Amino acid sequence: MARTHTPLPDLPPPASTIGMVGWVRTNLLSTPLNVVLTLAAIYLLYISMPPLIGWAILDADFHGSSKDACTSSGACWVFIKARLDFFIYGFYPTSEYWRVNILYVLLAIIIVPQFISNFPRKSWIGIAGLTIFPVIAYILLAGGVFGLTSVETNKWGGLTLTLVISFVGIVAALPIGVLLALGRRSDMPVIRTMCVIFIEIWRGVPLISVLFMASVMLPLFLPEGVNFNKLLRALIGIVMFQSAYMAEVIRGGLQAIPKGQYEAADAMGLSYWKSMSLIILPQALKLVIPGIVNTFIALFKDTTLVLIIGLLDLLRTVQAAYESPEWPDVAAEGLIFAAFVFWIFCFSMSRYSQDLEKKLDTSHKN
């Protein structure tokens, strides 16, 4: 008579290790040190959060159109609402806002698919965004053709100008950066030395000195009668500076391509430019997309420096607005708003690049 052994059903785990209690015990109170740290963190939140929420939301003013509407003790968000057009368009003529709006819509059409995986033809959309879009954008913003009224660049401002500078910076720096990176890896010592000197000089100096140089020295370099406007001078400085950083990112990609690829391209009898453009660069550029996005984030934050040489970017419009006598004591609101706008752009881009990095990572480290 065989007796089969049937074990008793498992006991439930101790109440202190599962559920809410278990989570708190393992994540907040595991050791005496952690208890102290948790208490300190809670105290920090307790003293900082209630006044902050009170200032920003509970006691804040949201309705109205002038400083008089701000009667409570909290933040005066009316300021942002009243000056929002200025922050977005700068001194762009009100009747021509639609041109800028079209650009924002186009930009959204280009960017949104990049965040959706498996969106059909998204790389083509991206390439169009880097090639055709700048042309359309320039025609729309500057006008002067197709019956559009001409708008001088000194009228451009606000978020629009910030986006223009960063976009031009990245689009123009990319091809120059590719050439510099190839030059730095060239077999020809003269070309290599020139590229190294160019890259290292720009990378060794602060952007601000480059902008100063572009605004005070560039006019001296030009022949008589030729004059660049302030925006173009700043853009030249930024592109030079950015292309050096871009070159280093791309060089990283070139170095990551195995030697066999170069040799195979040579063995196929491809010329240098063919082997680079058909074999090496497509692989290398794909590898460094996260790096390029990171450079773009840095550039996007650095565009704020143009206010030092007198351009009206987003930060400068905010500054001009809170310095005006109609709106006293709203510096905090203005700066927090600007910080929030920059944060949204940079944070979403950095998440995008992190996701890409994960997707492109084919190693088996973890």
Partner 1 sequence: MADAQRHRSSAARPSLWNDPKARSIVFQTIAIVGVLLFFYYIFQNTLANMEQRGITTGFGFLNNEAGFGILMSLIPYDESNTYGRTFIVGLLNTVLVSFVGIIFATILGFIMGVARLSRNWLIAKLAAVYVDSLRNIPLLLQMFFWYIVVLQTLPGARQSYNFLDSFYLSNRGLNVPSPVFEAGSIGILIALVAGIIGAFVFHRWAHKQQDVSGKQYPVFLVSLGLIIGLPLIAYFVTGMPISWDVPVLGGFNFQGGITIIPEFMALLWALATYTGTFIAEIVRSGIQAVSHGQSEAAHALGLHNSPTLRLVVIPQALRVIIPPLTSQYLNLVKNSSLATAIGYPDLVGVFMGTSLNQTGQAIEIVAMTMAVYLALSLIISFLMNIYNARKALTER
Residues that bind partner 1 (CB under 8 A): 26-28, 30, 34, 37-38, 41-42, 44, 187-191, 194, 201, 204-209, 212-213, 216-217, 219-224, 297, 301-302, 304-305, 307-308, 315, 319, 331-332, 335-336, 338-339, 342-343, 346-347, 350
Separation in Å, CA 7 to CA 1, 10, 136, 188, 231: 19, 8, 75, 78, 80
Tell me the closest approach of the beta carbon of residue 315 to partner 1, in angstroms: 6
CB atoms within 10 A of CB 49: 10
- Select 130 or 331, whichever has its Cβ closest to partner 1: 331
Alpha-carbon span 299 to 345, nearest angstrom: 12
Alpha-carbon span 317 to 162, nearest angstrom: 11
Q: For residue 362, with 0-12 CB atoms within 10 Å meaning exposed, 13-18 middle and 19 or more buried, which class applies?
A: exposed
Tell me the closest approach of the beta carbon of residue 144 to partner 1, in angstroms: 28
Tokens matching residue 364: 């088996």
- Select 53 or 127, whichever has its Cβ closest to partner 1: 53
Tell me the closest approach of the beta carbon of residue 282 to partner 1, in angstroms: 24
Which amino acid is residue 316, in one-letter code?
A: R
Tell me the closest approach of the beta carbon of residue 136 to partner 1, in angstroms: 28
Tell me the closest approach of the beta carbon of residue 6 to partner 1, in angstroms: 38
- Select 139 or 336, whichever has its Cβ closest to partner 1: 336
Tell me the closest approach of the beta carbon of residue 292 to partner 1, in angstroms: 17
- Select 92 or 322, whichever has its Cβ closest to partner 1: 322
Give the DSSP H or E segment for 136: helix 122-142
- Select 140 or 177, whichever has its Cβ closest to partner 1: 177
- Select 201 or 264, whichever has its Cβ closest to partner 1: 201
Contact indicator for 189, 197 with CB cutoff of 8 Å: no
Per the rule left: phi > 0, alpha: psi between -120 and 50, beta: everything else, 287 is alpha
Contact indicator for 47, 62 with CB cutoff of 8 Å: no
Tell me the closest approach of the beta carbon of residue 237 to partner 1, in angstroms: 11
CB atoms within 10 A of CB 34: 13
- Select 38 or 114, whichever has its Cβ closest to partner 1: 38
- Select 56 or 148, whichever has its Cβ closest to partner 1: 56
Give the DSSP H or E segment for 172: helix 158-184
Tell me the closest approach of the beta carbon of residue 154 to partner 1, in angstroms: 21
Helices and strands counted in the chain (H then E)? 16, 0
